[in-house]
C-alpha cells in the first residue's frame, strides 16, 4: 500500500513540476524562436564542391532527329554527340523500342527500324545502352546529357528522358 502512495505522489510531483516549467518558468515565450539564427554560433555555412566535374563546353551537337518524319519510313536519321548509344522509341505507344544504334564519329546516326512509322505517332530519341559501358563512361555521359537536349526534348513519366521528339506526318 505504501508503494502505491509513493508512486502516485511521485507522479503528481512530476506533473506539478512539468506544468510550472511549461507555464512560464523556463519555456520559450510564444513570440521567441527556439531555432538558431544566422548570427548564432550554432549555424556554420558550409560550401561543398561537387565530386562530378562537368566541362564548360561539351563536344558535339545536341540530339536532333532529321525532320520531317513521314509515315511508312523504316529508317530514322539525325545527329548528336559522337559515340553515344541511342534508342529510337514510339512515344505514342509508351516508349516501345523501334531500333537502336550509335552516333558515329561524324556526329550522325542512321537507324533501321523494326517496323514502319505510323502517321500521328510521336517518335523520340533516348540515350541507350546498346553496349556495356564502364563506370567512368557512365559518369561522364550522364553529366553531359542534359546539355545535349534537342528542341523536342521531354522527360515523360513511365517512358523516360527523350532528347528529341518528332511527330510523324502523312
Confidence (pLDDT) at 21: 46
Instruction: Indicate yes or no: pTM above 0.75.
Output: no
Q: Does residue 3 lie within any of the structural domains? A: no
Q: Does residue 156 lie within any of the structural domains? A: yes
The whole-angstrom separation of Cα 19 and Cα 124 is 66
Map residue 20 onto helix, strand or coil.
helix
Can you give the CATH number for the domain in which 125 is found?
2.60.40
- How many structural domains is the chain composed of? 1
Q: Does residue 43 lie within any of the structural domains? A: no
Residue 32 grid cell: 521567441
Q: Does residue 17 lie within any of the structural domains? A: no
Q: Does residue 132 lie within any of the structural domains? A: yes
Boundaries of domain holding 87: 64-169
Q: Does residue 69 lie within any of the structural domains? A: yes
pLDDT top residue among 74 and 21: 74
Mean pLDDT along residues 75-96: 92
Mean pLDDT along residues 107-131: 90
The whole-angstrom separation of Cα 117 and Cα 66 is 14
Q: Does residue 84 lie within any of the structural domains? A: yes
Amino acid at each position: 500500500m505504501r508503494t502505491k502512495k509513493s508512486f502516485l505522489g511521485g507522479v503528481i510531483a512530476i506533473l506539478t513540476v512539468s506544468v510550472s516549467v511549461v507555464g512560464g518558468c523556463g519555456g520559450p515565450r510564444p513570440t521567441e524562436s527556439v531555432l538558431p539564427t544566422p548570427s548564432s554560433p550554432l549555424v556554420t555555412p558550409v560550401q561543398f564542391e561537387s565530386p562530378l566535374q562537368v566541362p564548360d563546353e561539351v563536344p558535339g551537337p545536341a540530339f536532333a532527329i532529321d525532320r520531317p518524319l513521314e509515315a511508312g519510313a523504316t529508317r530514322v536519321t539525325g545527329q548528336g554527340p559522337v559515340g553515344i548509344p541511342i534508342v529510337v522509341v514510339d512515344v505514342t505507344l509508351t516508349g516501345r523500342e523501334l531500333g537502336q544504334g550509335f552516333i558515329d564519329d561524324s556526329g550522325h546516326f542512321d537507324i533501321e527500324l523494326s517496323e514502319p512509322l505510323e502517321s500521328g505517332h510521336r517518335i523520340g530519341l533516348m540515350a541507350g545502352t546498346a553496349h556495356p559501358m564502364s563506370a567512368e563512361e557512365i559518369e561522364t555521359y550522364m553529366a553531359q546529357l542534359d546539355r545535349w537536349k534537342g528542341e523536342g526534348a521531354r522527360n515523360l513519366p513511365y517512358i523516360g528522358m527523350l532528347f528529341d521528339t518528332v511527330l510523324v506526318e502523312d
